[in-house]
Amino acid sequence: MNEYEARQGIVDAGRLLHSLGLCPGTSGNISVRLAGGVVVSPTNSRLGRLEPADLALVSTDGVHIGGEPPSKEATLHRAVYRARPGAQAIVHLHATDSVAVSCLSGLDEHDALPPLTAYFLMRVGTVPCLPFAPPGAAELAVAAGAAAESHRGMLLANHGSVFAGDSLADAVTGIEELEEAARLFLRLRDYPVRPVPPDQVERLRRPARDAT
Ligand SMILES: [Zn+2]
């Protein structure tokens, strides 16, 4: 993906995610990896109203090269790219159901969402929930980078979700699937649940570490 395609792709992805009700206010950010850096949505921007020329260009080592000031969560994106050399795009959202799950006490921080559907296992795999740290904090980026070495998707406690994809389309559909899994988990909390059988979980679950 060249820079022009990346900019237009982020605008289109932002509109789609907004139309799905997944980015309230100015929350969430989207980035695409380029040869020498990252294109990322600007700070305090509505994902449904991005303009290609406004998107921030940040070098691999974090220098703001052009466009509006980058999201303060761009450091988290860069940490995830460093950890996953095959990742080409990252979406981070404050979508309601993922945020709700990230606020639950007693969550398994290594495996926060149960294996309820085959599609979740195939597309997302295991989802950890990282300890709370303020948005933009260096320790949050460090924790996300460490988790990204073996996970494509993750929750950030009391904050939201992150998904790294091998393309922008993969990142968008992956975070949609993560949000859907969070919604199902919450909807089923008061019911006895029959998850996917363990032998099938192992068969279906996307490898912890593959191309992305
Ligand atoms: Zn955030």
Summarised one tens digit per residue, pLDDT across range 142-184 is 999 999 999 999 999 999 999 999 999 999 999 999 999 999 9
pLDDT score for 205? 85
| Total length of the chain | 212
Q: How confident is the model at residue 1 (pLDDT cuts 50, 70, 90)?
A: confident
> 2 CA to middle of ligand 1, Å?
26
Q: How confident is the model at residue 207 (pLDDT cuts 50, 70, 90)?
A: low
Among residues of the chain, what percentage have pLDDT more than 70? Answer: 97
> 196 CA to middle of ligand 1, Å?
31
> 36 CA to middle of ligand 1, Å?
24
pTM (two decimals): 0.95
- Structural tokens at position 206: 């996307």
Give the position of tokens 């969402």.
113
Task: Write the pLDDT tens digit of every residue in 126-139.
Answer: 999 999 999 999 99
Of 5, 51, 109, 119, catalytic = 119
> 113 CA to middle of ligand 1, Å?
19
Q: How far apart are CA 59 and CA 62, in angstroms?
A: 5
Measured N-to-C along each axis, helices 3-19 and 168-187 cross at an angle, to the nearest 10 degrees, of 20
> 34 CA to middle of ligand 1, Å?
22
Task: Write the pLDDT tens digit of every residue in 14-45.
Answer: 999 999 999 999 999 999 999 989 999 999 99
Of 73, 176, 179, 180, catalytic = 73
Q: What is the mean pLDDT of the chain?
A: 95
| 73 catalytic residue (yes or no) | yes
Q: How far apart are CA 102 and CA 161, in angstroms?
A: 8
Q: How confident is the model at residue 211 (pLDDT cuts 50, 70, 90)?
A: very low
Contact at 8 Å (CB) between 50 and 41? yes
pLDDT score for 206? 72
3-class DSSP state of 165: strand
Those residues with Cβ within 8 angstroms of residue 162's Cβ, 6 or more apart along the chain or in another chain:
76, 80, 90, 91, 92, 144, 153, 154, 155, 156, 175
> 134 CA to middle of ligand 1, Å?
9
Task: Write the pLDDT tens digit of every residue in 186-197.
Answer: 999 999 999 999
| pLDDT mean over 96-122 | 96
**Higher pLDDT pick, 13 / 60:** 13
| 81 catalytic residue (yes or no) | no
Burial 99-121 (b: 16+ CB within 10 A, else e): bebbeeeebeeeebbbbbbeebb
Task: Write the pLDDT tens digit of every residue in 44-61.
Answer: 999 999 999 999 999 999
